[in-house]
Structure 1
């Protein structure tokens, strides 16, 4: 019987865990979970720092039911604000607060240093190749 091919999905998960080992200590020192950091970073990176909850869930790779709890804790911490537009109460918008911006600003330097450490371990060419390959995987259409 032929051996099964290595699992791409398992390899991606294991690589993610290895990469997160660089960032977890800084997140823990700031009492921020990985999911909370993804939300803060994505809001910070968005043009007007406001997104609808479904957009945030999609970009942060967090299921909508889980995102509800993440947003509740971030709101209780004063890092995000949630609101419904008067014109459409079905929509839920999320905005990074000044406190959320301040937290991002205070954490981004160390987070960038960790990215640089990963790049140093891999080397610039391998890092660019890795990022390019990951982008290609993200663009794959399973329906084709």
Structure 2
């Protein structure tokens, strides 16, 4: 019987877990989950620092129903504010509060050190190659399948 080919999706998940091992201690010290950190980081990087919930879900790779719970907990902690614009009550907008910005500012240096640690361990060339390959995988279009 032929051996199955290695699973790309499993290898990506295992690599993600290995990478997250660098960040989890700092997240835990700040009582922030991985999903909460992604939301905070994305809101800090957004041009207007305000996004609609569907945009945030897409950028953070969090399913919309799960994002609702993440946002509720972040709002309860005073880190984000959610509101519906008066002009369109169907939309839900999210922005960081000053407390959320302060948390990001307090955490970002250590998070960057961990990125540098990973890059140093892999080596700059392998790191660039890895990031380039991951970008290519993200751009694959399933509609172009033979």
**TM-score normalised by structure 1 residue count:** 0.99
CA-CA distance at 1:2 after TM superposition: 1.4
Query: Per the alignment, in what secondary structure is the counterpart of residue 143 of structure 1?
Result: helix
**TM-score normalised by structure 2 residue count:** 0.98
Aligned length: 144
1:100-111 matched pairs, under 5 angstroms? 100-111=100-111
1:106-121 matched pairs, under 5 angstroms? 106-121=106-121
Per the alignment, residue 55 of structure 1 pairs with 55
Query: Per the alignment, in what secondary structure is the counterpart of residue 81 of structure 2?
Result: strand
1:1-144 matched pairs, under 5 angstroms? 1-144=1-144
CA-CA distance at 1:143 after TM superposition: 1.3
Runs ≥4 residues deviating over 3 A? none
- In structure 1, stretches of 5+ residues that fail to align are none
CA-CA distance at 1:138 after TM superposition: 0.3
Q: Distance in 1 between matches of 2:129 and 2:53?
A: 32
CA-CA distance at 1:4 after TM superposition: 1.0
